[in-house]
Structure 1
């Protein structure tokens, strides 16, 4: 029988400039099991048994809670971490030994942040609303599936021509830096010297999504930043990002994030 998951706790932590985390100071059940630990914002350093990692937005860890971890923030850009401590149990409620469950590797970088951040936000909100309900575990499983898919993409990257990968990375950077521009798939394919179908296949294999989805996610990520940190109203944000009207923008924004644009208006995190 497959093991079942129990979530011990889930939170979003806004670490201060003087943040220091020493996992050895934690006690109780939180020192057991696993910790899905995602950097949503900021910079810092995390020391793990596998070596030190310089933290940036998109870093995702599957920490073994019984191991030693030491974390610090960059004072000028404090870290924001979404995290969930959980464990695996058998049908009789007995905790499973680590050797009896398949756990992903400790670290990966998630280059496309909007979708995963949305999963973590929904997981944390569901846990806070109903800690013992089924929804928190469902959101956690969705997040873990995304982690495993990213790990799989990393393993298959060696099968992609290096020149093609570099071209796609360049195109993606252009999309992220110009989220309001009307990008056309045929033009992007031509710039990569590929036919449209081949371009879409290579892009999906390299980025884990279609070019169209990447363009939309880049717009939504830019929109969240504008809603949180600028004085633009929602209609102005929609116009800046190339939407035909505020209704189309609001609909797509909610489809992608699970929240209306008003949810992020003026929220600093």
Structure 2
């Protein structure tokens, strides 16, 4: 859902990635935050008291401190924290981020961490249009955080599936190279699963059978080649691994509702 707060973000000059000193502490229990502060833990362990509630600090946790929040925090000297922090404000005090929890532990932080690293790099190097890129990156960071928070509140979300990562990786492989997907057995071998179990889990994650997914991605590619590359129906069928142009045309019409020669 669209949130106008994303449009009114103002980035401050307080940002960075830092390995906290052994004696580091955060003593803000009596000083409420005036703006927003996003705080992500890469490594280390510690404890935090947020608005009177004490909890542990650990790897892959992300906090969004809001105006009025009061924080005390410390870490274990033998396991010091490494954190990225981004301070920002929003123009209107009525704007909020209702979809964002105060804190959340990421299950799949890869892209989120890439956004954080890029944000710090862009703001540090100050290259052409760096501030515009930084604002877009911060929006991506907050959107990724929101998605993780929503997922945490729903036990039915696909991203919580134990095979989510491997199935989405294989789905990406099919999308990138639909012509060379030879068999379900080969895909199952990549996932270290039996073909039957792989097919079952792929459908649970992707919402359709792997066979159907392969066909759809081949037809999508065929439509693009026909409409924008000037290739003939026979050339496209051959490029996508169809041995029979009649079978390709029949499958294309079944999926798209029209003959490929009409594209």
How far apart, CA to CA, are the structure 2 residues paired with 1:88 and 1:133? 15
Largest Rg, 1 or 2: 2
Q: C-alpha offsets along residues 119-173 of structure 1, whole Å, 9 cap, x if unaligned?
A: 111111212233972111111111111111111222332467xxx95x649x99x
The TM-score normalised by the length of structure 2 is 0.57
How far apart, CA to CA, are the structure 2 residues paired with 1:125 and 1:52? 33
1:14: Cα distance to partner?
A: 1.3
How far apart, CA to CA, are the structure 1 residues paired with 2:197 and 2:56? 36
Mapping 1:1-269, distance limit 5 Å: 2=4, 3-8=7-12, 9-23=14-28, 31-49=33-51, 51-89=53-91, 96-97=92-93, 99-103=94-98, 104-130=100-126, 133-158=131-156, 165=161, 168=163, 185-187=187-189, 188=191, 190=193, 194-196=197-199, 198-203=200-205
Larger mean CA deviation between 139-148 and 50-59 belongs to: 50-59
Distance change (3 Å), C-alpha of 1:192 and 1:120: farther
Contact kept, 8 Å, 1:16 with 1:73, in 2: the verdict is no
- What are structure 1's unaligned runs of at least 5 residues? 90-95, 173-183, 206-269
Where in structure 1 do 4 or more consecutive aligned residues deviate above 6 Å?
none
Secondary structure of 2:62's aligned partner: strand
Distance change (3 Å), C-alpha of 1:49 and 1:24: closer
Distance change (3 Å), C-alpha of 1:4 and 1:201: farther
Q: CA RMSD in A?
A: 3.3
Q: C-alpha offsets along residues 36-81 of structure 1, whole Å, 9 cap, x if unaligned?
A: 1100111111211272221111001111143111111111110011
Contact kept, 8 Å, 2:151 with 2:157, in 1: the verdict is no
Distance change (3 Å), C-alpha of 1:53 and 1:17: same
How far apart, CA to CA, are the structure 2 residues paired with 1:144 and 1:79? 22
The TM-score normalised by the length of structure 1 is 0.56
Contact kept, 8 Å, 1:59 with 1:108, in 2: the verdict is yes
Contact kept, 8 Å, 1:60 with 1:107, in 2: the verdict is yes
Structure number with higher relative contact order (C-alpha < 8 Å, ≥ 6 residues apart): 1
Contact kept, 8 Å, 1:192 with 1:199, in 2: the verdict is no
Q: C-alpha offsets along residues 158-216 of structure 1, whole Å, 9 cap, x if unaligned?
A: 467xxx95x649x99xxxxxxxxxxx7514474697342x42354579xxxxxxxxxxx
Contact kept, 8 Å, 1:38 with 1:60, in 2: the verdict is yes
- What are structure 2's unaligned runs of at least 5 residues? 168-185, 208-263
1:26: Cα distance to partner?
A: 7.0
1:112: Cα distance to partner?
A: 2.2
